[in-house]
Structure 1
């Protein structure tokens, strides 16, 4: 197989799940109300957030209404409606749910940027990653990232890692703007953007459903089994414990 591109997930693949869930998510949740108090969303993003909010409102999931008791208006379920004032508390709720929602991911990236630049955050990347990426480049293989985190957040993880600035190892970055990671159309879109046939791309992930989506369009697939990764359903894909 003539592999010309490595497409790499981040969480559970090149970086520990624990770093994302125990460092990045709590940092964003801690600062999101403060950050959004002075942030102005574009109109198209406001419409997107309002639509997502109203979907949750209709579902009435457990814990949804209690999230907004912090607000000054002491909103109760019968009077709950979308407003700019409610967005910070809604985003707190989405962080708790680990919702893969574009506007949230963008804001998280901006908050993390503050943390990285101030030195409060230093990302953890597995020690075998730089050598693997460097060897790939020497073999003529380009490295790319595909993660549910925003492109900005992806770049920050590799820029401010404990192993140094790793950005030079990567050619391009993709987030869910190309589509969900469990949807085969996303991988078709990435292959198109790389101007490559799918069978020239090897996708590295820790999630079987993502591997299935990539494999369904002809990509080669490797599952990473890093410490702390979640158990996966039975599958026939190759499994690596390290690069």
Structure 2
């Protein structure tokens, strides 16, 4: 018996277009100005440095083109890490849709400013509120699991065009529990919910995430929303809507 709904956001409860055409450009445009007054913890700054140096070692042209010739050692095509390079680096990671914790944290704070100022209103599929309410009425708890930070997840549902939907959710999970394509992440979530995996139904638009959740015993539904990325053949249940 299902006791919990675990819901992805992008391509599941909200259109991919909203994330890529509204949220990402908003964060990218304001990244440099926001980071002028932002202080990373030593741990987070080290994470950024490690990720930066990993990308620098690959020397991928899209990465290198983010920086000026003065910043680039042209003979070796290598950059010395400097915190002043972080804005350009984070803009690159946004372009790549990199699921990187420190970036997600900063994006969430930038979006918070946008939501609170009224510049951003989130787009949520019209069938979502009814589905969440019906689940709640049946005694099923609703939870979120997304690569965006917990703060960003809450903002999407708080400032939606359909109203504040936070009342329908019990808890939120981000990649602090692990990657969405890793089975251990779903084991951790089940443990935190205090439920057997087969009491949890996971909704996503990505087959690899579905496979990871299914491998620990969760029931899985794949959403086939307009604009979603075509998936490889699979045997999971497919819904066009809630």
TM-score range, shorter chain: over 0.9
Check the 8 A contact 1:65/1:76 in 2, yes or no: no
8 Å CA contact 1:69, 1:76 repeated in 2: no
> Normalising by the residue count of structure 1, what TM-score does the alignment of the two structures yield?
0.97
> How many angstroms apart in 2 are the aligned matches of 1:96 and 1:68?
14
Contact 2:132–2:142 under 8 Å retained in 1: yes
Residue 83 to residue 74, structure 1, CA distance change in 2 (3 Å): closer
Is 1:242 equivalent to 2:241 in the alignment? Answer: yes
Alignment partners' CA distance in 2, 1:157 and 1:215 = 27
Q: How many residues align?
A: 240
- 1:130-149 equivalences under 5 Å are 130-149=129-148
- Report matched runs for 1:32-47 at 5 Å: 32-47=31-46
In structure 1, what is the equivalent of residue 170 of structure 2? 171
Q: TM-score, normalised by structure 2?
A: 0.97
Which residue matches 2:99? 100
Matched, 1:194 2:193: yes
Question: CA shift at 1:75, angstroms?
Answer: 3.2
Aligned equivalents of 1:74, 1:104: Cα separation in 2: 21
Counterpart for residue 47 of structure 2: 48
Q: Which runs of 5+ in 1 are unaligned?
A: none
Q: Does 1:18 align with 2:11?
A: no
After the TM superposition, which residues 43-82 of structure 1 pair with which residues of structure 2 at under 5 Å, given as runs?
A: 43-69=42-68, 73-77=70-74, 78=76, 80-82=79-81
Gaps of 5+ in 2: none
In structure 2, the residue matched to 1:88 is 87
- What secondary structure, in the 3-state scheme, does the structure 2 residue paired with 1:221 have? strand
3-state SS, counterpart of residue 239 of structure 1: strand
Q: Alignment partner of 1:148: what SS? A: coil
Residue 74 of structure 1 deviates from its aligned partner by 4.1
Q: How do residues 95-134 of structure 1 correspond to structure 2 at under 5 angstroms?
A: 95-134=94-133
Inter-partner Cα distance in structure 1 for 2:192 and 2:67: 41
Trace 1:207-218 onto structure 2 (pairs within 5 A).
207-218=206-217
Counterpart CA distance in 1 for 2:46 and 2:13 is: 34
Helix, strand or coil: the match of 2:72? coil
- Backbone CA RMSD of aligned residues: 1.0
